[in-house]
Structure 1
Amino acid sequence: MKKIIIIFLVAFTFQFNAQDAKPVFKDGEAQIVEAFSDKTKWIRHDLWVETTFDTDGDGKMDRMHVDVTRPAQTENGLKLPVVYESSPYYAGVASGGKELFWNVKHELGEKVAEPTRSNVQRRGKRPIISNSQIKTWVPRGYIVVHSSSPGTGLSDGAPTVGGDNESLAPKAVIDWLNGRAKGYKERTGTEEVKAFWATGKVGMTGTSYNGTIPLAAATTGVEGLEAIIPVAPNTSYYHYYRSNGLVRSPGGYLGEDIDVLYDFIHSGKEENRARNNKVVRDTELANGMDRASGDYNDFWAGRDYINDMKPMKAALLMSHGFNDWNVMPEHSYRIYKKASEMGLPTQVYYHQNGHGGPPPIKMMNRWFTKYLHGIDNGVENDAKAWIVRENDKRNEPTAYDNYPNPAAQNVTMFLNSGAPKIGGLSLENNNAKGKETLVDNHSFSSEALAQAEHTNHRLLYVSPILKEDVHISGVPTITIKAASSKEAVNLSVYLVSLPWNKGRRVKITDNIITRGWADLQNYKSLTESKPLKVGKFYEMTFDFQPDDQIIKKGQQIGLMIFSSDNNYTLLPEPGTELTVDLEGTTITIPIVGGVDAFKKAID
């Protein structure tokens, strides 16, 4: 009898404790709570949140499809904060080959036929939109919410690829979580759903497009969005599809443009697609994207989130890879820099790999613990910048006071002749004289050009061999004075480390420090390009992608100048000549320790 009573008391106590479970914190982090971890007890349901816009033209406010995953205890009075991710990808994307992308084999400025258009077949079943974030955050005392962005999945509306509705949609969901917007049990129904289980404090995260949406929501200044952790976010569609006036594809997606991405994600109602295509893709996007000139305009300015940041209040933890050549590292850096200037709580995490890669769970946990649970863990006093050093593990970043490294100073270098072999980079301007010419030929990859000892398809200038490591941190810039044999020419510039690493496990990116591209026609302005006069020299200054990299002793830092980049640019007929005036061309590299450190390394 005593055993039965003991068993009953244990079972009763466990049930009571499970019902009364609350978040637990240790060392400033939310801990996994056993009572929240049993996924068979999680409550999962979906609903539609009404927005303030009608982008599918049916005369009704668009409704966003939302799912919720929460611990069972929230049904009995426990209120928890929300980790929220939104995406255009949850319901599937277009399938197909190169025919879905723009043809890139043509002269700059030449108009070509549109790519083949595609339809997306929606996938997924209610009530689950996605399982992302759930295993990480629900056991730690959070509710996880997902939503499909406008015109995707079971959400109403039209995708606009950076238009205002893609900011207002997550705002509406956050408003609903705070009792300021209406949620409904069905897409066209009237039975309301209340978020009685939410504290009203929301954090957003996600990668790539899913990382763009947290920033988009934050720019609305919506009350309740306390913190965001964007991972490799696209923060400007101009910077994604153009570079300094040049039509330039994201790495791995040669020929993609904003209308292609629209087709790729448009998984919403089939009956709305024809109307959406006509109004959005074939009118707004087609008239604004200006694939012929590549110039910056009002269309692109409206899809650049840095222009909308004034209302932003959310604490920002940014994450990116320095070798992300899809969504390039400038996307995070420009927003991090602006948010810091605005006085917002900010941290940045960089690693040395490619696309994606969130901060370590410890960093994310501390961020959300502070700003969603309100635990005073001092995260705002942690180091501002966390950088994974070469060959270190991603969860073991090195702390720095900021990014760029405050000890970095600009070092200007001059070009010494050497074509068609290899010239020099020097701190002295004495030998930077003469002109050197390359011949465009997209048949040769940038990697092959960098390794060639002798070629007339690129110009290459290298530093003396480093006797000590050199730490680059920040945004290199180039001022180039050049002339073309045609009215338009691709201009590609790379910083590389040589000699080229060999071996089975060596990644191509091990030798690529950073990259940059530009259209010489935009030498005066990004908003207005003019055809070049054949043979006339023009001076243009532009940035490379941000970087933080230690170039090991025994290597040389090289500047490579070439024309068409067969992984990124349009590919005109080979033969265009690009001539560089060495005396009017310099490269500026931010180096920790400045000129003294570089002199010491090459002395």
Structure 2
Amino acid sequence: MTSRLFAALFLVATMGFAQDKTVPVFENGEAQIVEGFSNYKDYIRHDLWVQTTFNTDGDDTLDRVHVSVTRPKQTDTEGLKLPVIYVTSPYFAGVAPDVPGIMWNVEHELGELPTQERAHPEVKRLGERPIISNSHISKWVPRGYIVVHSSSPGTGLSQGSPTVGGPNEALAPKAVIDWLNGRVKGYTTPDGDEEVKAFWSTGKVGMTGTSYNGTLPLAAATTGVEGLEAIIPIAPNTSSYHYYRSNGLVRHPGGYLGEDIDVLYDFIHSGDESKRPYNNKTVRDTEMANGMDRKTGDLNDFWNDRDYLNQMDGMKAALLMSHGFNDWNVMPEHSNRIYQKAKAMGLPTQIYYHQNGHGGPPPMTMMNRWFTRYLHGVENGVENDKQAWIVRENDKRDQPTAYDAYPNPEAKDVTLYLNKGGNQMGMLTTKASKRQKTETLVDDFTISGKDHAQASKSTHRLLYATPTLKQDLHLSGESTISISLSSSKPAANLSVWLVSLPYTDDAKVLTDNIITRGWADPQNYKSLTESEPLKPGQFYDLTFKLQPDDQIIKAGQQIGLIIFSSDKDFTIHPKPGTELTVDLDKTTVTLPVVGGLEALKTATE
């Protein structure tokens, strides 16, 4: 056989072998399901511990993070390297049981604390090695990715302590990404020295997750770690202060009345039982107890250190945010504030908002295109797509409407003025009326916001509404309330709802009635960092934003502004009777109307 013929046969054989290899496939800018990656039984699953740079559990060694890996067999048999979808969580190993007394008692006066101590349930760790979680595997591995999971510090088999937003919760996923890029070491055991290398990783990592699991991708991204190319946070808690406080007010997340940051600490602390006494004393009973300040609700360094907006300067990852406009647990401001900063920084950024509650990822095609572009490097043009994707009322979640940005670029602020009659229904108008004087409401936490909206007459709230809309009206952005009020007591809750009227009891459309909401502490009228007792009878001016929204209010409805004091489902419950008096001449609400004043006039006149 001649050397030329041998070379030709070798080339043909090599080409044939290469064609037989299983590789990712892309169509229309999206990674496709590949048969060779789809046999779950063939997946290689193993776990390890990654070395971190911190020690938070009181021993003399650096903490290690428990990590599990799920990858196609071809990463062994064919030497295939693939990008990674990485999910980290404090929930994977189980959470605290729902026992009586785990929440803070809210039946007390403002500025006080309950006399009885909270219950501190112990979490029993769940799960068996090497599997931490099965989430996201069926979605991404068949499309040519490796899926990696890890437990947050102080949870599961990860060492350290939970801190609920402390530095170690950002540095832990950073360490895992560093390991995936060969920069730090991983080990087969939590205390041994036998190494595990990520030889199958391209080094390109994308992160996603929902709620707390959506917070941690952002936390990792703020470290600026090399290799974290893209993140898709879904309903992330981006600031513990914005989660547990609102404009100086102690305000609980919807559905979790009495929860605070120390409650969440107890809820997730599933780590090594022998380390819990140290962790409890150091983190919960010292740092949190001294920093959370349930008496005043003031903003301080403890809360600022747990706000990822303050830590974004080094962030490089492409950002696709997802949130629900009717998420009253992790409220929609959490995503909007990060999206706005990322956009201002010039990062590749998109936001997806739907009209439902907590959770809800973007459509699969959006996520697929995002990760395909930034992890596989396929030039699919996603960075040139529209920046905002809003699911319109009654549309399917996978059929959002595209806009150039959020808020809608055509939205303009329109200021509305209050006209007397709020104990029944005063009017909201575009022109101020002189000498409206004052109107008073009496606090009663036992009355729900829905009851306030449906009452034809009440001394416990003030209600003002626009004329009935003759045409649909599109609101997009953040509404703002500027209010001048006095209180009969040194402290008072202040709650504001913007609703569409009539307020229906139909459960199918109940969320449509609430346009947006907001809460504030009048004691913080000067500053969020310092409150001062109110002098009864003295008027105080304060301005604050309501939650962001994008909603089309239908013709035949009215836009109603409800002002009341204690919010049954969100605030502390002081004894009823506090009087709030509102100066109508110095109180306004500003709405972000698509089309501005002319659109509002057309819809109401």
TM over 0.5: yes
The equivalent of 2:361 in structure 1 is 358
Give 1:187 deviation, angstroms: 1.1
Amino acid at match of 1:105: E
Higher mean C-alpha deviation, range 98-107 or range 525-534: 98-107
Among candidates 302, 307, 312, match of residue 304 of structure 1: 307
Give the share of equivalent positions with the same residue, in percent. 69
Partner Cα distance (1:398, 1:367) in 2: 18
Deviation string, structure 1 residues 385-411 (Cα, Å, up to 9, x no partner) = 000000000000000000000000000
Give 1:501 deviation, angstroms: 2.6
The equivalent of 1:468 in structure 2 is 471
The equivalent of 2:45 in structure 1 is 44
Is the aligned partner of 1:96 residue 2:98?
yes
Give 1:18 deviation, angstroms: 9.6
Partner Cα distance (1:353, 1:431) in 2: 40
Partner Cα distance (1:467, 1:126) in 2: 62
Deviation string, structure 1 residues 71-91 (Cα, Å, up to 9, x no partner) = 000013100000000000000
Is the aligned partner of 1:500 residue 2:499?
no
Give 1:188 deviation, angstroms: 1.0
Does the CA contact (< 8 Å) of 2:450 and 2:503 recur in 1? Answer: no
The equivalent of 2:84 in structure 1 is 82
What RMSD in Å do the two structures reach over aligned CA positions?
A: 1.3
Partner Cα distance (1:451, 1:472) in 2: 22
Partner Cα distance (2:422, 2:41) in 1: 68
Give 1:290 deviation, angstroms: 0.6
Give 1:98 deviation, angstroms: 4.3
Amino acid at match of 1:566: K
What secondary structure is seen at the aligned counterpart in 2 of 1:591? strand
Counting only pairs closer than 5 Å after superposition, residues 400-549 of structure 1 correspond to structure 2 as: 400-430=403-433, 433-503=436-506, 505-549=507-551
What secondary structure is seen at the aligned counterpart in 2 of 1:337? helix
The equivalent of 1:61 in structure 2 is 62
Is the aligned partner of 1:160 residue 2:163?
yes
Partner Cα distance (1:591, 1:319) in 2: 23
The equivalent of 2:9 in structure 1 is none
Partner Cα distance (1:107, 1:423) in 2: 31
The equivalent of 1:367 in structure 2 is 370
The equivalent of 1:399 in structure 2 is 402
What secondary structure is seen at the aligned counterpart in 1 of 2:141? helix
Does the CA contact (< 8 Å) of 2:89 and 2:151 recur in 1? Answer: yes
Amino acid at match of 2:563: I
Partner Cα distance (2:157, 2:125) in 1: 9
What secondary structure is seen at the aligned counterpart in 2 of 1:309? helix
Give 1:168 deviation, angstroms: 0.1
Partner Cα distance (1:71, 1:181) in 2: 23
Partner Cα distance (1:86, 1:118) in 2: 23
The equivalent of 1:246 in structure 2 is 249
What secondary structure is seen at the aligned counterpart in 1 of 2:485? strand
Structure 1 stretches of 4+ with a deviation exceeding 6 A read: 15-19
Does the CA contact (< 8 Å) of 2:244 and 2:260 recur in 1? Answer: yes
Give 1:189 deviation, angstroms: 1.2
Give 1:431 deviation, angstroms: 5.0
Amino acid at match of 2:520: A
TM-aligned CA distance change 1:242 to 1:330, over 3 Å: same
Partner Cα distance (2:347, 2:422) in 1: 49
Amino acid at match of 1:22: V
Amino acid at match of 2:452: L
Amino acid at match of 1:103: N
Give 1:419 deviation, angstroms: 3.3
Partner Cα distance (2:409, 2:368) in 1: 27
Counting only pairs closer than 5 Å after superposition, residues 182-261 of structure 1 correspond to structure 2 as: 182-261=185-264
Partner Cα distance (1:300, 1:180) in 2: 32
Partner Cα distance (2:525, 2:509) in 1: 34
Partner Cα distance (1:62, 1:158) in 2: 9
Partner Cα distance (2:117, 2:379) in 1: 55
Does the CA contact (< 8 Å) of 2:105 and 2:258 recur in 1? Answer: yes
Does the CA contact (< 8 Å) of 2:323 and 2:335 recur in 1? Answer: yes
Deviation string, structure 1 residues 184-238 (Cα, Å, up to 9, x no partner) = 0111111100000000000000000000000000000000000000000000000
The equivalent of 1:313 in structure 2 is 316
Deviation string, structure 1 residues 466-502 (Cα, Å, up to 9, x no partner) = 0000000000000000000000000000000001234
Give 1:97 deviation, angstroms: 3.5
Gaps of 5+ in 1: 1-11
Deviation string, structure 1 residues 7-35 (Cα, Å, up to 9, x no partner) = xxxxx99x978961000000000000000
Among candidates 110, 116, 120, match of residue 117 of structure 1: 120
The equivalent of 2:7 in structure 1 is none
Partner Cα distance (2:72, 2:263) in 1: 40
Partner Cα distance (2:582, 2:435) in 1: 11
Higher mean C-alpha deviation, range 415-424 or range 477-486: 415-424
Amino acid at match of 2:388: A
Deviation string, structure 1 residues 238-264 (Cα, Å, up to 9, x no partner) = 000000000000000000000000000
The equivalent of 2:589 in structure 1 is 587
Does the CA contact (< 8 Å) of 2:100 and 2:119 recur in 1? Answer: no
Among candidates 132, 137, 145, match of residue 135 of structure 2: 132
What secondary structure is seen at the aligned counterpart in 1 of 2:339? helix
Does the CA contact (< 8 Å) of 2:317 and 2:347 recur in 1? Answer: yes
Amino acid at match of 1:557: I
Amino acid at match of 2:270: S
Amino acid at match of 1:115: R
Does the CA contact (< 8 Å) of 1:390 and 1:550 recur in 2? Answer: yes
TM-aligned CA distance change 1:117 to 1:405, over 3 Å: same
Partner Cα distance (1:528, 1:473) in 2: 32
